Homo-oligomer: A and B are copies of this chain.
Amino acid sequence: MVEPYYQNKKVAVTGGLGFIGSNLSIELVRLGAKVTVIDPMIPLYGGNLYNVESIKNKVDIHYDDIRDKRAMEMLVKDQDVIFHIGNQTSHIDSMTDPFLDVDINCRGNLVFLEACRKENPEVKIVYAGSRAQYGCVESTPVDEEAPIRPIDIYGVNKHAGELYHRVYHKVYGLRTTALRLTNTYGPRHQMKHSRYGIQNWIIRLALDDEKIPIYGDGLQLRDYNYVDDVIDAFLRVGCKQNTDGETYNLGGGQPISFREMVEKVVKIADSGKIVFAPWPDERKHIEVGNYIADYQKIKKTVGWSPRVGFEEGLEKTIRFYRKYKKYYW
């Protein structure tokens, strides 16, 4: 269903130079879409020009921030679909600087939605939410009706962002869909620091043959999605009208302990040394314990399931960073 839909469609991707946005933009170009990549390249955020090296002559790149009203009004015009992925994404940064998080993830999302309402009320919008919206969960697997009890400012504001999209759907009829992503890993991630995407950071430590800390017993369960599966979910909901106004979990299916994840990385990379350590304060407070998503809703609606197994995904990821290390380290 995805194949013919995006042919010649005008599609914008906010955060399009970042991890998920760039992988999505590359796939959109392959599908024949006319792609506008929007990314303000905030230092140490996810944006990396090398991410779009293979499509750089086939996309329009705009270095604009979702908080820029004029730029958003110009860029959302005439788009058929907008994948809205550009947000602040660090849990830890949201606690050390909650004001920046609220400025991007609350005010910025409203600037973006107001621009769509005024300039392109027919556009389809897919918003990237997060498992962080749930916070500490009482039981797994977690479906979309589970209580929303975030334990960091990032989780609160990502949820506010989702609710803004829902309000603009209910009140103004904007065609918004929200995905709540679980841990996502793969090529084109920010690899310079550990503040987001911990599993990608562990891949870096392993490739550098460094010590890899496991905090506590490392038995907390998580599920992981390889980025290509996440891209597939965005594309599937983006082309279906019956997803308007809805929210869907993504999930990896297979529960994997943190420790097992690290062990697999070390094994596949054939380097890195596991060390056990107590929880650092800044991470202890925002650690949520077990999280496994129930993704039956998106499976039923658009037939999505993750297809890339964890070891296969790790192998692809490690191969990518070995090859292109100089652009990411």
Find the B residue at minimum CB distance from A152.
B167
Q: How far is the CA of A286 from the CA of B155 in the complex (A)?
A: 25
Residue from the list B110, B156, B285 in contact with A102, Cβ < 8 A: B110
Q: How far is the CB of A286 from chain B (nearest CB, A)?
A: 7
Residue from the list B103, B107, B170 in contact with A285, Cβ < 8 A: B170
If over half of A's interface residues share one DSSP class (helix, strand or loop), that class is named, otherwise mixed; here it is helix
Q: Are B152 and A171 in touch, CB under 8 angstroms? A: yes
Q: Are A167 and B147 in touch, CB under 8 angstroms? A: no
Copies of this chain held together in the complex: 2
Find the B residue at minimum CB distance from A154.
B167
Contact flag A102-B107 (CB < 8 Å), given A153-B167, A163-B159, A167-B152: yes
Answer whether residue A149 sits at the interface, using C-beta atoms and an 8 A cutoff.
yes
Q: Are A150 and B163 in touch, CB under 8 angstroms? A: yes
Q: Are A114 and B95 in touch, CB under 8 angstroms? A: no
| A157-186 near B? 1/0 per residue, CB < 8 Å | 101100110110011000000000000000
Residues of B within 8 A of A149 (CB): 163, 166
Query: CB within 8 Å of B: which residues of A?
Result: 95, 98-99, 102-103, 106-107, 110-111, 114, 145, 147-153, 155-157, 159-160, 163-164, 166-167, 170-171, 285-286
